[in-house]
A = this chain, B = another copy of it.
Amino acid sequence: MFDPIEKLKEFIRHPSVSADPAFKEGMKGAQNFVADLLSSIGFDVEVVKTDLHPIILATRGANPSWPHVIIYGHYDVQPADPINLWKTPAFEPEIRGKRLYGRGSADNKGPLMTHIAAVARVLERRPDLPLRITFMIEGEEEMGSPSFPKFLEKYSDRLKEADFVFLSDTGIPAPDQIVITCGLRGLVLCDVVVTGPKSDLHSGLHGGVLRNPIQAVTELCASLHLPDGRVAIKGFYDDVMLVEEWEREQIRKLGTDQEKYREFLGIPAFYTPPGFTPFEATRVLPTLEFNGIGGGYQGEGTKTVIPSKAFVKISCRLVANQKPEKIRELLYAAIRERMPKDVTYEIIDQHAGTPYVVVPPDRANTPKDQSPVLARAFRAADKSIAEVFGKAPLYLREGGSVPIIADIKRVTGLDSVMMGLFLPEDNLHAPNESFNLDVMKRGMEASEKILEAVAQG
């Protein structure tokens, strides 16, 4: 059995920055490192070519009657810039105290190594473990996984044979409080560009006879929320999954302080739709936000112009059961209906993403047809995490969007068990990224127990 920490250091030494072509060699090195390591613990390794960085697909266990878990991870990392802010070089891993420093230590090389080591350990102990395991490790996660959907479509027949996906690429609030992420918000984005006069006009000579496109844009924007903060589009909330009491209870258990959160945001007061705490709202409610607005003169001082054009960038975060196509339709219909006839406008589609939710077993709203292996995995995770970390995990939906999880569900039908392992202080995407080696050690134990329990049946 290899030394997981030494192996993790070796992994980090490959500077696998996927977004920067200058790191081509580092990408290749990290990819070979993972392939060789998985091969060395008995996996059949396949390197699947994509338009950019290959995906590693590695399997063990051929008996189709065995439960089958896919372990997801990624071997690419964020750029290390600004490099002068690192205490020790980003790609020369160093242990200080309980932590291993280096780019990718927490996102995602450490958590991925945690699972590889757990698999190695359990297979060393029980070479005949009745469990099919597939590692699915991509190299474009930090670029938004552009090749992943195509890969999923191509390999869907094979991937569909599995029972669930297991991964650690989400966060936890404290070293002893594991969170299992049960939902992610989806997205619908568009730009609205409004044209008033065909060119910019002198506001003295022409002001008072036409609708300024800034007026049209702001009137549209102002029509999209009710005073209480809810989105003012008919049907917007129709499909939103109801929030069960168990879920509110989980959020309360997180124990986050509202006043501290308000201070962190730096706002005079919250503006949260009625009936929800701020911590609930970001997790279980959809939103409509303005990500950018522009038009006319933006410099210092004044320029008395009526601009020809103004624009706004709108995004909706969607929650469980909402369909991006339907929300897009409702949003566009509202824009069309509310735009005055004295301007022209264009709606420009931007990308969209489906929201994701998985309800753990034994809850009020657990689907009746939930896969028994998935249910077993959740129960095993709950028990193992409680034993190893001393506290039961929390089951929380998150406000952000991780498109690959919804893509996996959409293409293969598989749900994911997302066992968070990184801490706020791990500095993901920032200088001096590190990974807590205590969390790693316990994560390995938990992962080992979970895999064994899933195999047990």
* Interface, chain A (partner B; CB < 8 A): 185, 187, 189, 196-199, 201-212, 214-215, 217-219, 221-223, 225, 229, 261, 265-273, 278, 281-282, 285-287, 289-298, 301-307, 310, 312-313, 315, 317, 340-344, 350-351, 398-401
Residues of B within 8 A of A342 (CB): 267-271
A303 to chain B, nearest CB (A): 6
Q: Given A189-B304, A208-B272, list of 4 further CB < 8 A pairs?
A: A208-B286, A215-B221, A268-B341, A270-B342
Residues of B within 8 A of A304 (CB): 187, 189, 289, 291, 315
Flag if A351 contacts B221 (CB, 8 Å).
no
Contact of A208 with B282 at beta-carbon distance under 8 Å, contacts A287-B203, A296-B313 already known: yes
A287 to chain B, nearest CB (A): 4
Flag if B290 contacts A215 (CB, 8 Å).
yes
Flag if B211 contacts A222 (CB, 8 Å).
no
Residues of B within 8 A of A204 (CB): 185, 317, 398-401
Flag if B198 contacts A399 (CB, 8 Å).
no
Residues of B within 8 A of A270 (CB): 209-210, 342
- Copies of this protein chain in the complex: 2
Q: Which 4 A-B pairs have the closest CB atoms?
A: A198-B266, A222-B222, A204-B400, A292-B296
Contacts A/B (CB < 8 Å), 5 sampled: A208-B285, A212-B290, A215-B290, A218-B222, A268-B342
Flag if B265 contacts A197 (CB, 8 Å).
yes
Contact of A214 with B221 at beta-carbon distance under 8 Å, contacts A304-B291, A399-B208 already known: yes
C-alpha gap A371/B120 in the complex (Å): 103
Flag if B291 contacts A293 (CB, 8 Å).
no
Residues of B within 8 A of A401 (CB): 204
Flag if A343 contacts B268 (CB, 8 Å).
yes
A391 to chain B, nearest CB (A): 23
Residues of B within 8 A of A211 (CB): 229, 267, 271
Residues of B within 8 A of A221 (CB): 214-215, 218-219, 222
Residues of B within 8 A of A312 (CB): 214, 218
Closest residue of B by beta carbon distance from A203: B289
Flag if B197 contacts A267 (CB, 8 Å).
yes
Closest residue of B by beta carbon distance from A305: B291
Flag if B302 contacts A291 (CB, 8 Å).
yes
A139 to chain B, nearest CB (A): 23
C-alpha gap A350/B155 in the complex (Å): 62
Flag if B298 contacts A292 (CB, 8 Å).
yes
A56 to chain B, nearest CB (A): 28
Residues of B within 8 A of A187 (CB): 304
The winner among A222, A271, A285 for most chain B CB atoms within 10 A is: A271
Flag if B287 contacts A199 (CB, 8 Å).
no
Flag if B207 contacts A287 (CB, 8 Å).
yes
Closest residue of B by beta carbon distance from A402: B204
The winner among A185, A218, A222, A304 for most chain B CB atoms within 10 A is: A218
C-alpha gap A423/B317 in the complex (Å): 56
Flag if A295 contacts B297 (CB, 8 Å).
no
Closest residue of B by beta carbon distance from A189: B302
Residues of B within 8 A of A340 (CB): 271
Residues of B within 8 A of A297 (CB): 291-292, 313
